[in-house]
């Protein structure tokens, strides 16, 4: 089952919801007198030609014709155009410049960081460490503690050294190890300092939560160690957008973050205002999972 429904019922309900969305968006698009641009139509036609050349036979077996596929792409474009109509620059519901700045400042942080992987030493108690050292053969050493490396890097930063210097040292060590392995030298290149920066959303789940949470709470200019399950991060908090260029570059994606839920709610209002629909059950049956399966299997 899916969401406490049989697969067949879930598919039927989902198809009905998507059909209502298609109708609501198409009607609103026409009501507002909007039209797809020549570039949008050209792009849609190109995509249809490409997909149909490769997968047209498979779609046809499932009962989807070329015209229906094109209408789906047009619906996607119209949805995006409606979003821009209301929330894009000049739209009646467009965020102000101050709202953009507020959202960006509240939800993003700029940091520089180096990370040190935890080793077996970092998980040992004092007694376990002493026992491990006692068992070492002559010439053997325990792996260097990730925590100790992080603390050493933090001390350097607190004594006035630059984070980029530490990052470059770590990169040079890694390149040296790689050169030893493959025998090739890597030419040093000048790097824009901003290339070392991490601009991260507090909602970016690809970044460890503890990093996002603790770095967000840091003050600009502060340096500290943030510990995750597997790493020690030495982190420096930077000013988020000193010249405004970062906000400008991210406006499109920020707008989606800020207003996509509001737009989805608006679409639901359009759906609620649709007249009562009559469902052609015979047509619905032609697209049941069982029928589609039979078509595909001959």
The residue extents of the domains of the chain are: 7-94+248-296, 107-242
Count of Cβ atoms closer than 10 Å to residue 180 Cβ: 8
pLDDT confidence of residue 185: 54
Phi then psi for residue 116, to 5 deg, are -130, 120
Residue recorded with tokens 């026409």: 30
292 touches 62 (CB < 8 A): yes
Count of Cβ atoms closer than 10 Å to residue 284 Cβ: 13
- The helix or strand, by DSSP H or E, that contains position 32, with its residue range, turns out to be none
pLDDT confidence of residue 181: 56
Task: Output the six-digit token pair for 225.
Answer: 């160690």
20 touches 277 (CB < 8 A): yes
134 touches 126 (CB < 8 A): no
Read off the DSSP letter of residue 122: G
- CA separation for the pair 50, 230 (Å, rounded): 45
Q: What is the pTM of this model?
A: 0.83
- CA separation for the pair 57, 67 (Å, rounded): 14
The closest of 103, 3, 8, 6 to 293, measured between CA atoms, is 8
Beta strands (DSSP E) in the chain are: 108-117, 198-201, 223-227, 231-238
Apex 257 CA angle, 111 and 72, nearest 5: 135
Q: Cα–Cα distances in Å, from 161 out to 158, 223, 281?
A: 7, 12, 73
* Contact residues for 53 (Cβ-Cβ < 8 A; gap 6+): none
> What would the CATH number be for the domain defined by 107-242?
3.10.50
Task: Output the six-digit token pair for 177.
Answer: 């190890």
**Could you read off the pLDDT tens digit of each residue along the chain, which spans 298 residues?**
788 888 788 888 898 899 999 999 999 999 999 999 999 999 999 999 999 999 999 998 888 899 999 999 999 999 999 999 999 999 999 999 999 999 999 999 999 999 999 988 887 777 777 786 677 666 666 678 899 999 999 999 999 999 999 999 999 888 876 665 555 655 556 678 888 999 999 999 999 999 999 999 999 999 999 999 999 999 999 999 999 999 999 999 999 999 999 999 999 999 999 999 888 888 888 777 777 777 777 6
């Amino acid at each position: 089952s899916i969401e406490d429904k049989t697969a067949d019922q879930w598919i039927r309900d989902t198809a009905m919801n998507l059909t209502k969305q298609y109708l609501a968006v198409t009607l609103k698009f026409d009501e507002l007198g909007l039209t797809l641009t020549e570039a949008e139509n050209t792009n849609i036609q190109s995509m249809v030609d490409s997909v149909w050349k490769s997968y047209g036979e498979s779609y046809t077996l499932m009962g989807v014709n070329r015209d229906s596929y094109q209408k789906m792409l047009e619906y996607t474009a119209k949805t995006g155009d409606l979003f821009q109509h209301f929330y894009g620059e000049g739209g009646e519901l467009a965020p102000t410049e101050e709202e953009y700045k507020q959202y960006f400042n509240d939800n993003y942080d700029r940091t520089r960081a180096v990370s040190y992987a935890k080793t077996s030493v970092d998980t040992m108690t004092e007694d376990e460490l002493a026992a491990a050292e006692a068992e070492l053969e002559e010439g053997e050493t325990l792996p260097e503690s990730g925590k100790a490396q992080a603390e050493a890097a933090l001390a350097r930063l607190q004594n006035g050294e630059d984070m980029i210097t530490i990052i470059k040292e770590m990169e040079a060590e890694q390149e040296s190890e790689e050169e030893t392995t493959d025998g090739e030298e890597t030419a040093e290149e000048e790097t824009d300092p901003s290339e070392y920066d991490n601009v991260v959303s507090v909602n970016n789940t690809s970044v460890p939560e503890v990093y996002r949470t603790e770095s967000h709470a840091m003050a600009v200019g502060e340096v500290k160690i943030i510990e995750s399950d597997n790493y020690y991060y030495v982190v420096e908090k930077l000013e988020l957008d000193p010249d405004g260029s970062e906000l400008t570059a991210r406006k499109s994606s920020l707008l989606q973050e800020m207003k996509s839920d509001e737009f989805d709610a608006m679409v639901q209002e359009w759906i609620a205002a649709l007249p009562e629909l009559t469902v052609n059950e015979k047509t619905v049956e032609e697209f049941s999972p069982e029928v589609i399966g039979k078509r595909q299997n001959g």
